[in-house]
Chains A and B, each alone.
Chain A
Amino acid sequence: MSVLKFTPKQFDDFVSAMLKTGRPVMAPQAKNGRFAFGPLASPADLRLDYDVTILPPKKYVLPQVETLLEFEVCGPCRSVQEGQPMILLGVHPYDLTAILQMDELFRQGQYDKHYMDRRCQITIIALDVVTPSANVFASSMGTATVRSGYDILLTVLKDGSILADVATAKGQELIRLAGSVVPASEADLKARKDVWEHNNAALNKHILLCKPSLLPKILEQNYNHPVWEEKARLCYSCGSCNQVCPTCYCFDVQDRVNWDLKTGHRFRCWDGCLLENFATVAGNHNFRKDRAARYRHRLYRKGKYVPEKIGGQIACVGCGRCISACTAKIANPVEVYNRLLQDTKLG
């Protein structure tokens, strides 16, 4: 549609105008020396220069805990749709890629109305990365920049001005709050292209030594590779890698009864395939009781199983959060994939 140019002051005014609409604005802010997405109260708290957030913005499309139904105990249930209009501001391209993948997974086959309704009501303002994080490898995964999937894409230029690429009607509606901003010039667009080119190469603290599209084939040949056992030997099965991952979407479903003991709700909550009892059935039979099998399952989901469901796109977006979160320092997908690559004969 159009690319507009904000001065920092104009952008703050735009953020203030969004806050005044009463719609919740979730945005990256400083938190104990790191960054986290949370409800924004003032433009001053917004950190467009954040490197990576502790948890991905996934928590707004698939909350940690989400009510699905309300019920009378042992009685009938009724659907609950918790989705509310929301602005998700400052989503990095790799996290946006993850959300777009999840959109497809919850849409395809049996349509998940709880996810989709929540998602439909969110306006996403993406943001090109300003500061690379310690473990990012989005350049390797082809997710350092995006060309679609956002409502608005922000790019901070070297001179501090901010370009806003308005891509959808939802974005258009929001940008009306911006007042009088000027269209970006040719020189601005060139400066933006430079940012993209830079990010496409520079968000690469760990370098995958092959194209991501080769991962399914590499994995296919290495189901019994010793790396699974070697890495998993140190695994605590804590599930941290699952919890911080923007593409993990496995969930558990549980019931909770209210204090009146008459009513309650059924909710889903995040789960993780690394946790010991993820595949345990009633009677205590665990179908994936070996740590190595769980460790392998996660990397197969990212590199093969989920891609097969969503048209080939690899379900690791290179945010590097699992690398930072893993206590045992074994979660780095690049290390594992490169090791497999080294031992694979590709015909």
Chain B
Amino acid sequence: MCECCSGHPDIYLPQMATITKRRMLNGTELFLHLEMDSGQDLRYKPGQFVEVSLAGIGEAPISISSSPTQKGLELVVRNVGSLTKAIHKLQVGDKLGIRGPYGTTYPIEEAKGKDLVFICGGIGLVPQRSFIRYALDHRNDYGKIIVLIGTKCYSMRLFREEIALWQERKDMTVLETIDEAHDCWDGNVGVVTTLIPKIENELPGSLVLICGPPIMYKFVLISLAEAQVPEENIYVNLERRMKCGVGKCGHCQINDKYVCQDGPVFRYSDLALVPEAI
């Protein structure tokens, strides 16, 4: 190897991590708690993602769902492709490759002293949970914490026990909705935007953090514009195909931005000239 390269690490080489807990959150979403085999926790911040791999099957970007205030790394993996299908078969004690953390973080410093409104659609709750837990672990640093959660149907709801605990807390507001009515559900029915009028008075002055399926952003952003939330106060966490995670492969590019480096968390006002973003 040449001299100038020998001092550089291999940016594509994963570290090994061991599954210490696993449980299904619903029919398709698997929750994993991992410990790095190095014994060193990954130094990540809320909003970032890792490249998860199973040698022989492949690699994919997965949001971090845990908060750096806790030990280990928590991920939620939807059974949707060949890699995630294989990950779903893994048991406690099995190993995964991890690269990262990559990407931008939620504005954990800028948000201090401010009210936070999290708008989560489906598995959009997964990365948002990282910042929600972080804010709860630094409760005095932040103002009100409001969480709006929308799920397609009753059976797909995520983190049910944890949400129930959040709902019991006096220092946060959690509103949940499902798109389709269900016999066991007596809460709000409708898409996540139907929850926005219930907290409309809280929106001016809050930082609003959005994560959900592509279609959700369009409608949530319209509602927020109607509520006159300035675009500088809105953050979105975007999904793309971050194949390399290091700003080289080109797959996650939206106009001139690389979601793996310039995102996945973007301030909405920074996306004014990025029509491919939303």
Contacts and interface: CB of A to CB of B under 8 A. Distances in A.
Interface of A: 68-69, 71-79, 81, 83, 105-106, 109-114, 116-117, 120-121, 223, 249-255, 257, 264, 266, 268, 271, 273, 278-283, 285, 287-288, 293, 297, 300-301, 304-305, 308
A81 B1 contact: yes
B241 A71 contact: no
Interface in B124-164: none
A68 B248 contact: no
B246 interface: yes
A253 B59 contact: yes
B124 to A, nearest CB: 13
Contact of A250 (B2, B16, B250): B250
Given A73-B56, A113-B10, A283-B80, A120 B248 contact: no
B29 to A, nearest CB: 13
A73 B55 contact: yes
B233 interface: no
Contact of B5 (A73, A120, A273): A120
Given A112-B11, A250-B251, A288-B276, A279 B240 contact: yes
Given A74-B95, A250-B249, A250-B250, A280 B241 contact: yes
B190 interface: no
A250 to B, nearest CB: 3
B57 interface: yes
B198 interface: no
B130 to A, nearest CB: 20
A253 B54 contact: no
A68 B2 CA distance: 17
Interface of B: 1-2, 4-5, 8-14, 16, 53-60, 78, 80-81, 84, 94-95, 97, 213-214, 239-241, 243-244, 246-251, 253-256, 261, 275-276
Given A281-B241, A305-B255, A68 B12 contact: yes
B38 to A, nearest CB: 12
Contacts of B9: 113
B276 A293 contact: yes
Given A74-B95, A83-B1, A112-B11, A105 B58 contact: no
Contacts of A297: 253
Contacts of A301: 250, 253
A240 B83 CA distance: 29
Contacts of B16: 76
Interface centre among A79, A255, A264 (most CB of B within 10 A): A255
Contacts of A257: 56
Majority-rule SS of B interface residues: loop
B241 A279 contact: yes
A111 B243 contact: no
Q: What are the 7 A-B residue pairs with the smallest beta carbon separation, nearest first?
A: A250-B250, A71-B55, A120-B2, A73-B56, A110-B246, A79-B10, A117-B5
Contacts of A273: 250, 253
A305 B255 CA distance: 7
A251 B192 CA distance: 37
Contact of A114 (B4, B10, B261): B10
Contacts of B243: 251-253
Given A110-B247, A223-B275, A304-B256, A287 B57 contact: no
A251 B241 contact: no
A87 to B, nearest CB: 15
B170 to A, nearest CB: 38
Nearest to A70: B55
A223 B240 CA distance: 21
A77 B213 CA distance: 33
Given A74-B95, A255-B53, 17 more contacts: A68-B12, A76-B55, A77-B14, A105-B248, A109-B246, A110-B246, A111-B8, A112-B246, A113-B10, A116-B4, A120-B2, A255-B58, A266-B59, A283-B78, A285-B214, A287-B214, A305-B253
Contacts of A120: 2, 4-5
B55 A253 contact: no
16 contacts: A75-B95, A76-B55, A77-B14, A77-B53, A81-B1, A83-B2, A109-B247, A110-B247, A112-B246, A116-B8, A251-B243, A252-B249, A257-B56, A271-B251, A281-B241, A282-B84
A300 B255 contact: yes
Contact of A106 (B213, B214, B248): B248
Given A77-B97, A223-B275, A282-B84, A111 B251 contact: no
Contacts of A287: 214, 240-241, 254, 276
A110 B250 contact: no
Contact of B249 (A117, A271, A283, A288): A271
A28 to B, nearest CB: 26
A69 B12 contact: yes
A264 B57 CA distance: 10
Given A77-B97, A117-B2, A285-B214, A253 B11 contact: no
A276 to B, nearest CB: 13
